[in-house]
Structure 1
């Protein structure tokens, strides 16, 4: 299938680790021009080198804290200046620590809300400033099936992801008249395949699950397996492509092995 993403200008936030890394490399294989926005500049630069080797047109790294709107505006300005606009934004930045809500603190709530929700608002706002005059674009936000099902030890995180789902639907309704499509991909448990896939600031820098726990998770899913970053990247490529998904907007797609089944 030809996604027709060659030479498209793509911005991926949190592109240095795990799902974001694999998304960057998937776009690279399509020949896209990629801007990686990541707070871990060193890890992002490693991914940029891999992306160039896999066929990306042009790749740049812009160190970015996506919770800071001024830094996000610089990210989008640099992507637009180097690659002639922004065709695709992937809001991938995310963070959590698994614990029961009664164990969390206001500082924790604030961090989870800022990284998982405020970042999406910041990046979407700055990208729309480029996409609306160009009369087109695709925004894909990485949400979570915790937003659709509710999950113990992910109360605040799941709430932010539910907010992302609603926000993206509203943005889709408001900006469809400009040819801008907005969708979400909801992973379930998605595990890096190698240690090289994560940086020191990633939530996966320390294992979140024991092998025994992962076996139990897989056994509880209809497909009997946990997700891998490539599963999410394939869905992102599809939704990003106007050639194959040009009539899809405002949708929430679960890529979770059947964890949640929403009619």
Structure 2
């Protein structure tokens, strides 16, 4: 359906359960998803823009669908900063909107987004990047449960290094926050956080609370399509301790 709308050079909102793609003349101009921090979060939490600056631009230009242009013309962000942050938010949200579990699709013709056009992207490129990201996640650590479950840290093995970026994520891995909730708190794209969490899992540095074992007499949840993770970690820890 997205490719058909692109061929038609349609303008409007492509709606699915996980969010919305906004099209202008068949190209994707913005994307939003409840699973991904929006451009406002990436700009303000990331430190490029003060929250009051964002609110002012939204109030002044939101009804004209020119918030992006207002941010640049007022000198609050540069054109390059806006474009990079916009593309990051667009591809991040599109990953969830175009996911296989995102439900039925509807299209509302004529709908425009309040941000305005920043850097339109061909729909084919958005779809291709979404497929690439999905394959990349599975190549890092094929356990989709990690994307939606709260995560908790595990102690690093002796001599195992943890980067500053990983430490910031691990501090928020409290057994309550999911990876996407951590992304919102850090002001980072959700997909990048999913990748980091899967890398940490592959290194044995995070796990989901359910991996610690089921409650007494409760049926054990179904494992991912991977070898026994807990067993592999025990073997790894034992080998590293013996070196």
**Would you call these one fold, judging by a TM-score over 0.5?**
no
Larger radius of gyration: 2
* TM-score normalised per structure 1: 0.28
